[in-house]
């Protein structure tokens, strides 16, 4: 199974960007808003028998819901799984938050990869959280270039709209372990 750890910005944040990119005549076909996420660590193909160990390791990472708490897991709740398609862990009043909790994030600016993929940038430092996840899963360290992919087709009008974009801020409150299969995402665990 193909996995990654990531963040889904809140619905209002994603819709704000979607409205900003509703440009008449733009040639770029935007990706589905429900799938808009920020990847913290790409895990690649993972044998199913390793999933439980990965969830346990991620449960020990100081995440927004707190370190050392085992996540609840379960099947997805829909065909186009988004941020609320899995079960959530540690989201209880009075639960002590991890050291990444409350980090203020904002979609800001944008760019492209190789003149093709268009993305919105992320303001707010997610490097430590990404490094903690990579360390917990024994992955090689890699620098994080936090972004949210909006289109796999380059369009000058969309690229210009992204340049000066400033979305509303939000506080990091959870991360997800996500399976990518047949162009759909399924949340396997939330931390």
pTM above 0.85, yes or no: no
The answer regarding whether domain 2-190 maps to CATH 3.90.1140.10 reads yes
Domain locations in the chain as residue ranges: 2-190
CA-to-CA separations, 146 to 23, 72, 81, 115, 142, in angstroms, rounded: 24, 26, 21, 18, 12
Helix (H, G, I), strand (E, B) or coil at 3: strand
Provide the 10 A C-beta neighbour count for residue 44: 10
Q: Which of 49-58, 97-106, 120-129 has the lowest mean pLDDT?
A: 97-106
Question: Crossing angle of helices 51-59/127-136, nearest 10°?
Answer: 130
Q: Give yes or no for residue 120 having a pLDDT over 90.
A: yes
Does the pLDDT at position 97 exceed 60?
Answer: no
Tell me the percentage of the chain whose pLDDT exceeds 90: 74
Euclidean distance between CA atoms 119 and 113, whole angstroms: 8
Q: What is the pLDDT of residues 146-186, one digit of tens each?
A: 999 999 999 999 999 999 999 999 999 999 999 999 989 99
User: CB neighbours (10 Å) of residue 73?
Assistant: 18
pLDDT, greater one: 102 or 166: 166
């Amino acid at each position: 199974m193909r996995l990654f750890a990531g963040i889904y910005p809140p619905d209002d944040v994603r819709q704000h960007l979607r409205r900003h990119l509703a440009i008449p005549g733009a040639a770029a076909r935007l990706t589905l808003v429900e799938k808009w996420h920020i990847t913290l660590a790409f895990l690649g193909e993972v044998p199913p028998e390793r999933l439980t160990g990965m969830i346990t390791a991620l449960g020990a990472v100081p995440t927004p819901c707190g370190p050392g708490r085992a996540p609840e897991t379960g099947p997805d709740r829909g065909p186009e799984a988004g941020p609320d398609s899995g079960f959530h862990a540690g989201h209880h009043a009075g639960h002590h938050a991890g050291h990444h909790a409350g980090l203020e994030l904002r979609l800001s600016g944008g760019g492209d990869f190789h003149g093709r993929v268009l993305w919105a940038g992320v303001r707010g430092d997610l490097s430590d959280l990404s490094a903690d996840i990579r360390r917990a899963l024994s992955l090689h360290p890699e620098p994080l270039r936090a972004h949210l992919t909006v289109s796999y087709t380059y369009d000058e009008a969309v690229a210009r709209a992204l340049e000066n974009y400033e979305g509303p801020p939000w506080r990091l409150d959870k991360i997800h372990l996500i399976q990518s299969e047949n162009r759909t995402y399924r949340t396997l665990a939330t931390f």
